[in-house]
Amino acid sequence: MAEPRRPRIITSRPGPAPEPAPERPGQAGHTDVPDAATARPVSGKVSVAPVPAEDPAPAKASWAPKLPKAAKAPKPAKPARAPKPEKAPKQAKVPKAAKAAKSAKVPAPASVTSGAQVLAFPEPAHKRRRRHVWLGVAGVAVVLAIVMVVALYSPVLAVKTITFKGNKLVAEKTLQAALEPLLSKPLPQVTQGDVSELLAKVPQIKSSRLVAQPPSTLDIQVVERIPVALLKNGKDYLLVDQDGVQLGSTRNPSTVPLPQIDGGRAAIGRSTFSAMTAVLATLPQSVLGKLANATAKSPDAVQLQLTDGKTVIWGNASDMELKAQVLDALINAPVPTPVDGTPPPPPVRVYDVSAPRHPVTR
């Protein structure tokens, strides 16, 4: 391995000391640095360069050996930063109206908030009228609400009198007892449902209609069930309507001018029973009072028996109204007078109205 090359040391020859260079203005005390004009090179391989005027430190020779680095001095502590000044609050956005006023060169009012110009425009007339209308409607609504509350709960409108119309079979005392819970109840709170529910306990009432008469009267229009037959049930005779609802009972059928139906309670609800009661409900009172009984082998073969022994062949349930009118006309028609020299016509025993447009008597 080759030996490392030793550094070559160049020494300068002793000579006369150089004269001190005149001091330059602004560089007092730096007399140890020779001027470049008076400096003498010590060797041909060594050159002396002038030191810049701005750098007062002495120039180092390129041949000087490197000295060990001195320990770095600790860096001075950084001064504490001053707190940042608080940002100024953002200015409020200028309303479009203000921008428009500014562009139109309209003088802004004296009141200015956060740099924004606020312009006060007069309210349009239609908006004022609309606000007045809404205020009036709201006032009327409040008044109506107060009136309704007073009407619903005020004892001034409590029911004190109940009257009935249309009742013939049911005594008024029975109806008054049925509707007694409605007394002292505020009139606006009484409904048709309340009346119908209470009158359902009275079987003779088929329907009812409520009419309120302020301040404290109820008028009840009732529709009674019409008995159409006496249903024989053992020793009793039950008064029934078209729907088979029992309206009463008696043991002496001669006191009630209604036709009789056999079969007892078991017949209620059958198709033959419904067909017979439907026919009886259609007949006018002038014919119904002359009937003795009604029978039916089937819903399409209903027959009626008159009190004088005559028979009515009714047939099915078609053309009920027309059949009733034709039968009424035939029963109440005058007896034809015999023509001289001819025998009198035989009495009518059968009225056949099963084909009402072509009735037959025989």
Contact in structure between 170 and 204 (CB atoms under 8 Å): yes
Q: Is the pLDDT of residue 95 over 60?
A: no
In the beta sheet, which residues pair with residue 352?
A: 313, 360
Distance CA 205, CA 169 (A): 9
Which tokens in the block code for residue 209?
């209609």
Q: pLDDT: is 152 or 344 the higher one? A: 344
* Segment among 67-76, 246-255, 260-269 with least mean pLDDT: 67-76
Which tokens in the block code for residue 225?
């069930």
Which tokens in the block code for residue 45?
């391989």
Contact in structure between 247 and 169 (CB atoms under 8 Å): yes
What CA–CA distances, in Å, run from 234 to 184, 268, 272, 281?
46, 15, 20, 24
The label of the residue with tokens 């447009």 reads 357
CATH architecture of 229-334+347-361: 3-Layer(aba) Sandwich (3.40)
Strand extents, DSSP E, the chain: 112-113, 116-117, 161-165, 205-213, 217-224, 229-233, 236-240, 246-250, 260-261, 291-296, 302-306, 311-315, 350-352, 360-361
**315: left (phi > 0), else alpha (psi -120 to 50), else beta?**
left
Distance CA 224, CA 208 (A): 9
Arithmetic mean of pLDDT, 174-194? 91
Per-residue pLDDT tens digits for 280-310: 999 988 888 889 989 998 999 999 999 999 9
Distance CA 235, CA 179 (A): 34
Where are the domain boundaries for CATH 3.10.20.310 in the chain?
155-224
DSSP H helices, the chain, are: 96-103, 125-153, 172-178, 192-199, 271-282, 285-288, 320-331
Distance CA 198, CA 180 (A): 9
Distance CA 293, CA 152 (A): 54
The label of the residue with tokens 């409040």 reads 142
Q: Given this model, what pLDDT does residue 127 score?
A: 83
Using CA of residue 200, residue 201, residue 205, residue 209, what is the dihedral sign? negative
Q: How confident is the model at residue 322 (pLDDT cuts 50, 70, 90)?
A: very high
* Segment among 98-102, 153-157, 207-211 with least mean pLDDT: 98-102
Q: Give φ, ψ of 208 to 5 degrees.
A: -150, 160
Per-residue pLDDT tens digits for 50-68: 555 554 444 444 444 554 5
* Segment among 18-22, 141-145, 240-244 with least mean pLDDT: 18-22
Q: How confident is the model at residue 36 (pLDDT cuts 50, 70, 90)?
A: very low
Which tokens in the block code for residue 196?
């119908």
CATH assignment of 155-224, given 3.30.390.30, 1.10.760.10, 3.10.20.310, 1.20.1730.10? 3.10.20.310
Q: How many CA atoms lie within 13 A of 356 on its CB side?
A: 16
Per-residue pLDDT tens digits for 189-247: 899 999 999 999 999 999 999 999 888 899 999 999 988 899 988 889 999 998 899 88
Where are the domain boundaries for CATH 3.40.50 in the chain?
229-334+347-361
Per-residue pLDDT tens digits for 332-360: 888 777 777 778 778 889 999 999 999 99
Q: Is the pLDDT of residue 321 over 90?
A: yes
Q: Which amino acid is at 183?
A: L
**326 C-beta neighbours (distance < 10 Å), count:** 18
Residues composing the chain: 362
Give, as one character, the DSSP assignment of residue 329.
H
Q: pLDDT: is 81 or 41 the higher one? A: 81
Distance CA 347, CA 329 (A): 16
Residues 6 or more apart from 306 whose CB is under 8 A from it?
290, 291, 292, 312, 331
Q: Is the pLDDT of residue 160 over 60?
A: yes
Ranges 23-27, 94-98, 345-349, 353-357, most confident:
353-357
In the beta sheet, which residues pair with residue 361?
A: 351
Q: Given this model, what pLDDT does residue 142 score?
A: 87
Q: Given this model, what pLDDT does residue 312 score?
A: 94
